[in-house]
Amino acid sequence: MSAPDTKTCILNAAEKLFAQNGFHNTSLRGITSLAKVNLAAVNYHFGSKDALLQAVIERRLLPLNRLRQEKLAAVLTQATTSGAPPATKQLLRAFIEPTLAFRHSGPGAEDFIAMIGRALSEPDQTVRNCFLQLVMPLFQQLFKGMQQALPQLPSQVLLTRLQFTLGAMSQVMCNSARPALQLPGLGEPLTDDQLADELIGFVCAGLEAQQ
């Protein structure tokens, strides 16, 4: 059903395997056999394995970044029109909620988010650069907004705290597909909405902590 398009089949299979096994631990043969296409199709349609990775990331990250950018811009313009600085929590919401909600935007999206969550600490330059290049403008926008929301914080401190924020966030992104940390007998795990609220509350408190 659904996708007779060879290119899309390859993208879907690559996304799943890159997310599950990492870029270097995924072979083109694994991808093409999962996608049920010929091995040479990857190089024909994308040129190389690196270019395939770029395509996999761009396909989902460009729309997601556009959405996050819009939500951030909405918070910022609404703040300037009202004359008040933007609220930390609103900025965080604009950045985090679309990201976590994206996991349920369709099949494979959860894998993709796990992959992106890992990208920041990725040792391989191929993956990290491809990700950083796409996400840096958005991060700078978030940083500028936070400078307005928390003007008393020195810029370096703010940057550091935003790194903590990304770290907490990426932990959620990676571990929603397959939780690494589990303890027995703690009852029901949190729902996705609860998880998002917890994350936002956590990093908001951390960002606003007095020095």
Partner DNA sequence: AGCCGTTTCAAACGAGTGTTTAAATTGCCT
Partner DNA sequence: AGGCAATTTAAACACTCGTTTGAAACGGCT
Binding interface with DNA (CB under 7 A): 6, 26-30, 37-45, 48-50
Helix/strand/coil (H, E, C) string of the chain? CCCCCHHHHHHHHHHHHHHHHCCCCCCHHHHHHHHCCCCCHHHHHCCCHHHHHHHHHHHHHHHHHHHHHHHHHHHHHHHHHHCCCCCHHHHHHHHHHHHHHHHHCCCCHHHHHHHHHHHCCCCCHHHHHHHHHHHHHHHHHHHHHHHHHCCCCCHHHHHHHHHHHHHHHHHHHHHCCCCCCCCCCCCCCCCHHHHHHHHHHHHHHHHCCCC
Q: Least Å distance between CB 6 and a second copy?
A: 26
Query: Residue 92 in contact with residue 119, Cβ under 8 Å?
Result: no
**x-marked contacts with a second copy along 88-127 as a string, rule CB under 8 A:** -----------------------------xx-xx-xx---
The residue range among 33-41, 73-81, 86-94, 192-200 that interacts with a second copy, by the rule CB under 8 A, is: 192-200
Q: Does 25 bind a second copy (CB under 8 A)?
A: yes
Q: Least Å distance between CB 62 and DNA?
A: 22
Measured in whole angstroms, the distance separating CA 161 from the mean position of its chain's CA atoms is 18
Q: Does 203 bind a second copy (CB under 8 A)?
A: yes
Q: Least Å distance between CB 208 and DNA?
A: 45
Choosing from 84, 163, 192, 193, the residue that interacts with a second copy (CB under 8 A) is 163
Q: Least Å distance between CB 136 and DNA?
A: 25
Which residues make Cβ contacts (< 8 Å) with residue 20, sequence separation at least 6?
A: 111
The residue range among 20-28, 68-76, 85-93, 95-103 that interacts with a second copy, by the rule CB under 8 A, is: 20-28
CB of 35 or CB of 207, closer to DNA: 35
Contact set with a second copy (CB under 8 A) = 19-22, 24-25, 117-118, 120-121, 123-124, 128, 132, 139-140, 143, 154-157, 159-172, 174-175, 180-181, 183, 186-190, 195, 198-199, 201-209, 211
